[in-house]
């Protein structure tokens, strides 16, 4: 359960007031709700935080609020946030007494906002001034949609653009089943950084403290309505030079250490978690069976990085044949009893035997070639 946080509202003479754990808290802004609320969760983000805040305050929407939720940072983040909050009345700065996990901090950022439209913002990304207004304009034309975002330019730690652009998911004209399949086909998901309808977010379980909890949330949203995009690149998403491991991400999200499954087999857990969301939906048994079958086939293909991660978690040192991979994925998506150490050891032994066999054959071919050369 999230621990109590302390709100330091720099716009009311730095008065602090406690937030009860799990309570529903309204922002302190008086009068009508802002047209746009931006929730910025951050933990030790001092390196790029000022650049992110500057680009958010430069949005071409006058009526906005920026709520920064500091998850008990230990670097210069608190001072950076306090300095900006003291200079700009649109900012509220919230500092948690202790780290409550990334998922809970994301949810807190939303809970403290009351805008007609809402967006999460990362502490190290950069937005063009027209990002929010362009997305909102399209969102308001499509009442059936739950979110809208732009195309995404990936950048490195140094801010220089990377070669690839992320083409955000647009589901206009798709059925709910087609939206779900489109989401599952994606190798990465940056659609968390969209402009959302707050009512749609409130209809979900929000960001659950599980590995891939953000993807779980996107799947719930895909079941509710369309994802929209605008054609322009209006968001620069920073990819750190040093990527976090799944274990590091799981800890940062706030997954309890006793939930060993998520720490030891995170990609298998995520696949099973998403399959459970689909099976619990009201799509109908035929549609659900079709989606799950397509998901299995996708994860069993050799070019699926997610599928390869699942195979490793299930003890395969080298990839099994396709039919075996399909059985492994099907077993992964069923309610689980973890593999026993002996089963894992057996799979590793089988893979090692195959690998050694291939090396012996290769050595035999080289030996024959040398012998043939000696005879000529």
pLDDT per residue over 258-273, tens digit each? 676 777 888 999 999 9
Output the pLDDT for position 140.
Answer: 94
Q: Does the pLDDT value for residue 28 go beyond 60?
A: no
Output 179 or 26, whichever has higher pLDDT: 179
In the numeric block, which tokens belong to residue 56?
A: 């958010």
The rounded distance, in Å, linking the Cα atoms of 162 and 156 is 7
Mean pLDDT of the region 209-224: 93
User: Residue 104: what pLDDT?
Assistant: 93
Please provide the CATH number assigned to the domain covering 125-247.
3.90.550.10
Half-sphere exposure of 192 (CA within 13 A, CB side): 23
Partner residues linked to 18 by β-bridges: 6
**Location of structure tokens 């949330």:** 217
Task: For residues 127-154, give the mean pLDDT.
Answer: 96
Give 158's contacts (C-beta < 8 A, 6+ positions apart): none
Fold (CATH) for 1-124? Spore Coat Polysaccharide Biosynthesis Protein SpsA; Chain A (3.90.550)
Tokens 């293909």 appear where? 301
**Three-state secondary structure readout of 51-92:** HHHHHHHCCCCCCEEEEEEECCCCCCHHHHHHHHHHHCCCEE
Is the Cβ–Cβ distance between 193 and 125 less than 8 Å?
A: yes
Over its C-alpha atoms, the chain yields an Rg (Å, rounded) of: 24
pLDDT band at 358 (very low <50, low <70, confident <90, very high): low
- With 90 as the cut, is the pLDDT of residue 88 above it? yes
Q: Kindly state the average pLDDT of the residues 154-164.
A: 88
Count CA atoms within 13 Å of residue 12 on its CB side: 13
Exposure on the CB side of residue 308, measured as CA atoms within 13 A = 8
Q: Are 119 and 195 in contact (CB under 8 A)?
A: yes
In the chain, domain spans: 1-124, 125-247, 265-376
Quick check: 67 pLDDT over 80?
Answer: yes
Number of H helices, E strands in the chain: 14, 11
Q: How far apart are CA 202 and CA 24, in angstroms?
A: 12
Which residues on adjacent β-strands are paired with residue 149?
229
What six digits make up the tokens of 259? 């939930």
DSSP state of 157: T
Token pair 């690998």 is at which residue?
355
What's the mean per-residue pLDDT of the chain? 84
Strands 91-96 and 15-19: unpaired
How far is C-alpha 43 from the chain's CA centre? 16
Statement: residue 5 has pLDDT above 80: no
Please give the residue that has the higher pLDDT: either 110 or 303: 110
pLDDT tens profile 303-348 = 888 989 899 888 888 888 888 888 889 988 987 555 556 655 665 5
């Amino acid at each position: 359960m999230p621990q109590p946080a302390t709100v330091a509202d720099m716009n009311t003479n730095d008065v602090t007031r406690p937030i009860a754990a799990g309570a529903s808290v309204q922002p302190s802004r008086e009068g009508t709700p802002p047209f746009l609320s931006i929730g910025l969760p951050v933990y030790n983000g001092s390196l790029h935080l000022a650049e992110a805040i500057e680009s958010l305050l430069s949005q071409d929407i006058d009526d906005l609020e920026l709520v920064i939720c500091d998850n008990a940072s230990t670097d210069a983040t608190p001072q950076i946030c306090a300095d900006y909050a003291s200079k700009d009345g649109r900012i509220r700065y919230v500092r948690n007494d202790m780290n409550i996990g990334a998922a809970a901090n994301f949810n807190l950022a939303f809970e403290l906002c009351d805008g007609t439209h809402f967006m999460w913002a990362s502490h190290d990304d950069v937005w063009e001034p027209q990002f929010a207004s362009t997305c909102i304009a399209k969102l308001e034309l499509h009442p059936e949609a739950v979110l809208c975002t732009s195309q995404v330019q990936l950048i490195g730690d140094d801010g220089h653009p990377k070669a690839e652009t992320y083409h955000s998911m647009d589901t206009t004209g798709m059925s709910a089943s087609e939206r779900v399949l489109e989401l599952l086909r994606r190798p990465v998901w940056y659609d968390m950084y969209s402009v959302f309808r707050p009512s749609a977010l409130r209809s979900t379980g929000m960001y659950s403290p599980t590995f891939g909890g953000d993807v779980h949330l996107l799947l719930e949203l895909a079941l509710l309505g369309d994802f929209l995009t605008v054609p322009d690149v209006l968001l620069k998403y920073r990819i750190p030079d040093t990527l976090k491991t799944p274990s590091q991400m799981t800890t940062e999200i706030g997954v309890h250490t006793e939930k060993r499954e998520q720490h030891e087999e995170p990609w298998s857990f995520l696949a099973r978690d998403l399959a459970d969301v689909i099976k619990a939906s009201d799509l109908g048994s035929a549609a659900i069976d079709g989606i799950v079958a397509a998901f299995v086939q996708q994860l069993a293909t050799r070019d699926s990085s997610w599928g390869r991660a699942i195979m490793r978690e299930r003890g395969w040192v080298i990839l099994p044949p396709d039919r075996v991979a399909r059985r492994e994925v099907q077993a992964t998506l069923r309610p689980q009893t973890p593999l026993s150490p002996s089963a894992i050891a057996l799979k590793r032994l089988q893979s090692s035997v195959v690998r050694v066999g291939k090396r012996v054959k290769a050595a035999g071919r080289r030996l024959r070639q040398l012998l043939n050369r000696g005879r000529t």
